[in-house]
Chains A and B, each alone.
Chain A
Amino acid sequence: MAKLVVSIENDVQGHYFLDKDKFVIGRNEDCDLCLNDADVSKLHAHIITLENDQILEDTFSRNGVRVNGEKVVRHILQNNDTIEIGRFQLKYINQRASSNMDFDKTMLLDATPSLIAELEETIETKSWTQPNKVISISREIKCKFPLGGVRGIKGEYSGQEILISRPLKTFGRPGQLAMISRRPMGYYVTHVEGRKPTRLNGRSIGSASILLKEKDVIDIAKQKLVFFLRE
């Protein structure tokens, strides 16, 4: 279970388990975590637990809340976050919130929290009419991708240097295309479409994806491109 380790200047004061749906932090004696200090508001902040997430919210405190040095109003807690309230440091410990891996497996939410159920009704009514804003939750890339590109020596890009920083880029013209894809192990060239094959150093690559080496020459449509890697 997740817990807070409370300390003042590295001097540990106590451990508090976040075992409630709403864990209240403040100067009031009936708070779940009572921090007796003039800089702490009576009801300073709370931590809401919603399934795997624990969300820290500043409840309109006078002096605010910092997490890892930055002022926050609302923050989804991550393992080892340090919350600062007044002169107290609250270290958030939750092994489960450290590894994303555990949470990638799709699971059905068993008992839908009543909060969600209640509010779902209000959302439902506008689910289709509301412009559908996309939640982008994809992870930041953890693998190392090299950076490289091509220099045009004939055709559209002649005399230009094109850095390929996105996962793929196509070259040629509609109906006659080749793709250069950027992957963790390097850049690859693949024929996309067109009756004439894409050529690498003069030879057809067929339907294979081929790892590019520096100074490799690619022919597609009427373009000639030389591959390079940037250190």
Chain B
Amino acid sequence: MKLRTDLHIASETDKGVVRNFNEDSIAVNRELGLIVLADGMGGYKAGEVASNMATNLIVDELQSKLGNGSGRGSLLYAEPQKLIREALEKTNKLIFRLANQEETYHGMGTTLVLMQFYDSRATIAHVGDSRLYRWRQGYFELLTRDHSLLQEQVALGMISFTDARYSHNRNLVTRALGTGAEVDMDIREIDVQPGDLYLLCSDGLNDMVDDFNIELAMNELQGNLPLMARQLVLMANDNGGHDNVSVIVAQVPLAPSSGGGLKTTFFNWLKRLWS
């Protein structure tokens, strides 16, 4: 069993135009086929602590479970959601404990969105308003549903879709990691197809850039993922950059082959040197 070591992945994180620090945190582990993004919240720099803890602890936890042993893939295949659920629950407890121990960290927490690839499937999980989008053969789709007051207000019919942009509740999340003894996450398994392109982002992107422009960048810049990631962040900042903005893009190669991915990466790297 192999994990997605041949994924093409690029990421960017930026404090934006207005804020002094970056409370977002991202982690990419190609070996595990794991991408994680967190948007921290809390007092002075506490948000940064919470989001960093979240991304690091989850990667460490899954690394230790899946490790380098030969059975790592089968562990995922057997109970992928259980493994990830446990990693999130453990991380939640550790952040919550620190928040209660240290006064400066009191009330800190973080949103989280992650994707764990294994061959033709992946598990996706999220808490809060960080998002996961998918581009598949020209179809662009949001796969997560924000845990935010605004989303609830719309779902309840209190606010129309068109009025949502005038709401002042855009930033209020109804769920977070590390703010309670238990965590309420959305988690599910999805199929993965060659050519799929996934985008994990913090609300600093989708609050500043319309979905059809996010789609435009994903559609047009598939031949250069690092440029795609930079361009998404740039667009958020060009529109005002009110918040920290982070993106991770992951592309499933068209022809899955063992080792081919690495070669392509090397080739692309050479090409970039050349040009």
User: Is B75 in the interface zone, CB < 8 Å from A?
Assistant: no
Residues in chain B near residue A169, CB distance under 8 A: 220
Residues in chain B near residue A184, CB distance under 8 A: 238
Contacts of B139-193 to chain A: CB distance below 8 A: 141-146, 149-156, 158-161, 163-174, 176, 179, 186, 188
Residues in chain B near residue A207, CB distance under 8 A: 272, 275
Residues in chain A near residue B242, CB distance under 8 A: 100-101, 104, 139
- Beyond A123-B155, A179-B221, whether A104 also contacts B169 by CB under 8 A is no
- Beyond A120-B152, A195-B271, whether A135 also contacts B141 by CB under 8 A is no
Q: Does A135 contact B224, Cβ atoms closer than 8 Å?
A: no
For A, the interface residue count at a CB cutoff of 8 angstroms equals 63
Instruction: Name the CB-closest residue of B to A136.
Output: B211
B151–chain A nearest beta-carbon distance, Å: 6
Q: Does B275 contact A135, Cβ atoms closer than 8 Å?
A: no
Q: Does B167 contact A76, Cβ atoms closer than 8 Å?
A: yes
Instruction: Name the CB-closest residue of A to B128.
Output: A106
The number of residue pairs between A and B whose CB atoms lie closer than 8 Å in the complex comes to: 190
Instruction: Name the CB-closest residue of A to B242.
Output: A104
Instruction: Name the CB-closest residue of B to A128.
Output: B188
User: Is A155 in the interface zone, CB < 8 Å from B?
Assistant: no
Q: Does A106 contact B223, Cβ atoms closer than 8 Å?
A: no
Instruction: Name the CB-closest residue of A to B202.
Output: A106
Interface stretch of the complex, out of A19-27, A39-47, A50-58, A146-154: A50-58
Distance between Cα atoms of A135 and B161 in the complex (Å)? 6
- Beyond A106-B111, A123-B156, A166-B216, whether A139 also contacts B208 by CB under 8 A is yes
Q: Does B216 contact A167, Cβ atoms closer than 8 Å?
A: yes
Residues in chain B near residue A145, CB distance under 8 A: 238
Residues in chain A near residue B155, CB distance under 8 A: 123
Residues in chain B near residue A75, CB distance under 8 A: 163
Residues in chain A near residue B186, CB distance under 8 A: 127-128
User: Is A142 in the interface zone, CB < 8 Å from B?
Assistant: yes
User: Is A38 in the interface zone, CB < 8 Å from B?
Assistant: no
Contacts of B90-140 to chain A: CB distance below 8 A: 107, 109, 111, 128-129
User: Is B207 in the interface zone, CB < 8 Å from A?
Assistant: yes
Interface stretch of the complex, out of B227-235, B246-254, B256-264: B227-235
Q: Does A53 contact B176, Cβ atoms closer than 8 Å?
A: no
Scan A84-128; emit 1 where CB is below 8 A from any B CB, else 0. 000000000000110011011111110010001001100100011
Selected from B146, B220, B271, the residue in CB contact (under 8 A) with A179 is B220
Instruction: Name the CB-closest residue of B to A141.
Output: B239
Q: Does B172 contact A52, Cβ atoms closer than 8 Å?
A: yes
Residues in chain B near residue A133, CB distance under 8 A: 161
Q: Does A108 contact B154, Cβ atoms closer than 8 Å?
A: no
Instruction: Name the CB-closest residue of B to A192.
Output: B224
Q: Does B173 contact A109, Cβ atoms closer than 8 Å?
A: yes
User: Is A134 in the interface zone, CB < 8 Å from B?
Assistant: yes
Residues in chain B near residue A119, CB distance under 8 A: 152, 156
Distance between Cα atoms of A96 and B167 in the complex (Å)? 12
A152–chain B nearest beta-carbon distance, Å: 18
Q: Does A137 contact B167, Cβ atoms closer than 8 Å?
A: yes
With a 10 A CB-CB cut-off, give which of A103, A105, A107, A135 has the most chain B CB atoms: A135
User: Is B74 in the interface zone, CB < 8 Å from A?
Assistant: no
A154–chain B nearest beta-carbon distance, Å: 21
Distance between Cα atoms of A123 and B221 in the complex (Å)? 36
Instruction: Name the CB-closest residue of B to A102.
Output: B168
User: Is B71 in the interface zone, CB < 8 Å from A?
Assistant: no
Q: Could you tell me which A residues sit within 8 Å of B by CB distance?
A: 48, 50-53, 55, 74-76, 78, 96-97, 100-101, 103-109, 112, 116, 119-120, 123, 127-128, 132-143, 145, 166-170, 174-175, 177, 179, 181, 183-184, 190-195, 197, 204, 206-207
24 A-B pairs (CB sep. < 8 Å): A50-B158, A74-B160, A75-B163, A76-B163, A100-B168, A100-B242, A103-B169, A106-B173, A107-B171, A108-B109, A109-B174, A127-B186, A135-B161, A138-B207, A138-B211, A141-B240, A142-B240, A167-B217, A167-B235, A168-B217, A179-B227, A179-B231, A184-B238, A192-B221
Closest 4 CB pairs of A and B: A193-B223, A52-B168, A104-B242, A170-B220
